[in-house]
């Protein structure tokens, strides 16, 4: 290739890039950006805490138990298992890309990841510990004392620092570079014809009204059962529990559809085991539309193109307890 041709080629590539940026700007879904501006020491500490079952009464349940980073940041159970094998009330939402949510939990009762992180630790049905016991425990572990000192520059350990660190780690759990994002960024070959047809159906039939933006969801509360009521034995009532407003009954945070291939089963009650089932129910109850089998399969194909790069990191090695560390109490 002559220099002249190379320059011409570069200019063309540039203009293609500019065009695809433009077309991307017109789509209701935006690509996930890789995470920037991470406090690395804080996130590394948070990673250890995230994997540490000593933050539970039993010494057996960690954040990763129900938001398993080997499994799409969920437990893939209808509803979660808590302390003493208690059956949780609700399906464990994925931690992946959760920093993009307008609020945390299905009912949005936590404003952000930091506020969320303290919840399960002290929930008697989940980790069944207390913030005081968790902090006392960490203070008894020399490796943590050292790492908190390095990270925060003081000799204190408190729950604020604990949840700060966990939230900072969770900020890193974004999943960019899905086939769909590659397509959004201009790679026309990144999607199959079925995936593209599914995306067109997803837009044209109104799914994007709620499932939009970078997380393809997570940006609003919506009623479960708009056209038809949703039938479930699950007793959770959604956002009304936070606001007390009757109109918020059965309003739930719209879940992200990023990595939805990995986050089965679906809905707040986990009653839809497969994507096929979930798409069918959403079509009928939310949009009043019965998708044909072919349409359903195309939408499912599109949804599977939303699986991004999963978080990739070394399994953390936890600092050992000391002789002063209170032992866990799994059976008391």
Q: Give the CB-side neighbour count of residue 306, counting CA atoms within 13 A.
A: 29
Residues 215-254, one symbol each (x = binds a second copy by CB under 8 A, - = not), give ----------------------------------------
DSSP 235: -
Q: Which is nearer to a second copy, 93 or 311 (CB)?
A: 311
Could you tell me the two tokens for 308? 């991004």
Q: Which is nearer to a second copy, 59 or 198 (CB)?
A: 59
Catalytic residue flag (residue 126):
yes
Is there binding between residue 15 and a second copy (CB under 8 A)? Answer: no
Is there binding between residue 294 and a second copy (CB under 8 A)? Answer: no
Least distance to a second copy from the beta carbon of 33, Å? 21
Catalytic residue among 44, 126, 147, 168: 126
Give the whole-angstrom CA distance, residue 288 versus residue 165.
44
Q: Which is nearer to a second copy, 2 or 85 (CB)?
A: 85
Is there binding between residue 85 and a second copy (CB under 8 A)? Answer: yes
The total of other beta-carbon atoms located within 10 Å of residue 155's CB is 9
Size of the site for a second copy (CB under 8 A): 45
Is there binding between residue 24 and a second copy (CB under 8 A)? Answer: no
Is there binding between residue 92 and a second copy (CB under 8 A)? Answer: no
> What are the Cα distances from residue 246, in Å, to 32, 166, 268, 319?
35, 34, 19, 48
Query: Which member of 274, 288, 290, 294 binds a second copy (CB under 8 A)?
Result: 274
Is there binding between residue 140 and a second copy (CB under 8 A)? Answer: no
User: Please, which of residues 58-77 interact with a second copy by CB under 8 A?
Assistant: 58-60, 65, 68-72, 75-77
Stretch of residues binding a second copy (CB under 8 A), selected from 6-14, 28-36, 180-188, 269-277: 269-277
Query: Which member of 12, 15, 21, 87 binds a second copy (CB under 8 A)?
Result: 87
Query: What are the b/e assignments for 183-220, b being 16+ CB within 10 Å?
Result: bbebeeebbeebbbbbbebbbebebbebbbbbbbbbbe
Query: Which member of 52, 126, 195, 295 binds a second copy (CB under 8 A)?
Result: 52
Instruction: Tell me the three state secondary structure of residue 179.
Output: helix
Q: Are 180 and 190 in contact (CB under 8 A)?
A: yes
Q: Which is nearer to a second copy, 58 or 205 (CB)?
A: 58
Give the whole-angstrom CA distance, residue 126 versus residue 249.
24
The total of other beta-carbon atoms located within 10 Å of residue 312's CB is 6
Could you tell me the two tokens for 199? 């995306």
Instruction: Tell me the three state secondary structure of residue 70.
Output: coil
Q: Consult the annotation and say whether 210 binds a ligand.
A: yes
Give the whole-angstrom CA distance, residue 288 versus residue 195.
23
> What are the Cα distances from residue 150, in Å, to 97, 147, 174, 270, 330?
28, 5, 26, 41, 32
* Residue reference for tokens 């479960």: 224
Q: Consult the annotation and say whether 211 binds a ligand.
A: yes
Instruction: Tell me the three state secondary structure of residue 252.
Output: strand
Stretch of residues binding a second copy (CB under 8 A), selected from 14-22, 149-157, 162-170, 274-282: 274-282
Instruction: Tell me the three state secondary structure of residue 200.
Output: helix
Q: Which is nearer to a second copy, 54 or 268 (CB)?
A: 54
Summarize as ranges the residues that interact with a second copy (CB under 8 A).
51-54, 58-60, 65, 68-72, 75-78, 81, 84-85, 87, 261-262, 264-265, 273-276, 310-318, 320-321, 323, 327-328, 330-331
- Residue positions forming the annotated binding site for heme c: 63, 66-67, 83, 207, 210-211, 282
Among all residues, which ones are annotated catalytic? 126
């Amino acid at each position: 290739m002559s220099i002249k041709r190379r320059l011409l080629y570069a200019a063309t590539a540039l203009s293609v890039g500019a065009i695809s940026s433009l077309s991307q700007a017109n789509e209701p879904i935006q690509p996930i950006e890789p995470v920037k501006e991470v406090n690395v020491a804080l996130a590394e500490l948070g990673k250890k805490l995230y994997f540490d079952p000593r933050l539970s009464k039993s010494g057996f349940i960690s954040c990763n138990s129900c938001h398993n980073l080997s499994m799409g940041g969920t437990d893939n159970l209808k509803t979660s298992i808590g302390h003493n094998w208690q059956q949780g009330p609700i399906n464990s939402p994925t931690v992946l890309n959760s920093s993009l949510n307008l609020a945390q939990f299905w009912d949005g009762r936590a404003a952000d990841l930091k506020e969320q992180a303290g919840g399960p630790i002290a929930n008697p049905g989940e980790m069944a510990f207390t913030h005081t016991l968790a902090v006392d425990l960490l203070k008894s572990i020399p490796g943590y004392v050292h790492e908190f000192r390095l990270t925060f520059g003081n000799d204190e350990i408190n729950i604020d620092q604990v949840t700060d660190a966990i939230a900072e780690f969770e900020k890193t759990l974004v999943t960019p570079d899905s086939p769909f994002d590659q397509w959004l960024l201009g790679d026309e070959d990144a999607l199959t014809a079925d995936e593209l047809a599914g995306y067109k159906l997803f837009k044209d039939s109104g799914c994007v009204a709620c499932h939009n933006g970078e997380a393809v969801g997570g940006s609003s509360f919506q009623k479960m059962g708009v056209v038809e009521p949703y039938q479930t034995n699950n007793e959770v009532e959604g956002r009304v529990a936070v606001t007390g407003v009757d109109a918020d009954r059965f309003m739930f945070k719209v879940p992200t559809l990023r990595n939805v291939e990995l986050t089965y089963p679906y809905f707040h009650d986990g009653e839809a085991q497969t994507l096929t089932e979930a798409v069918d129910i959403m079509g009928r109850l939310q949009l009043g539309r019965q998708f044909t089998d072919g349409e359903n399969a195309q939408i499912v194909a599109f949804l599977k193109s939303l699986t991004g790069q999963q978080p990739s990191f070394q399994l953390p090695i936890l600092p050992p307890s000391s002789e002063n560390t209170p032992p866990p109490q799994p059976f008391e």
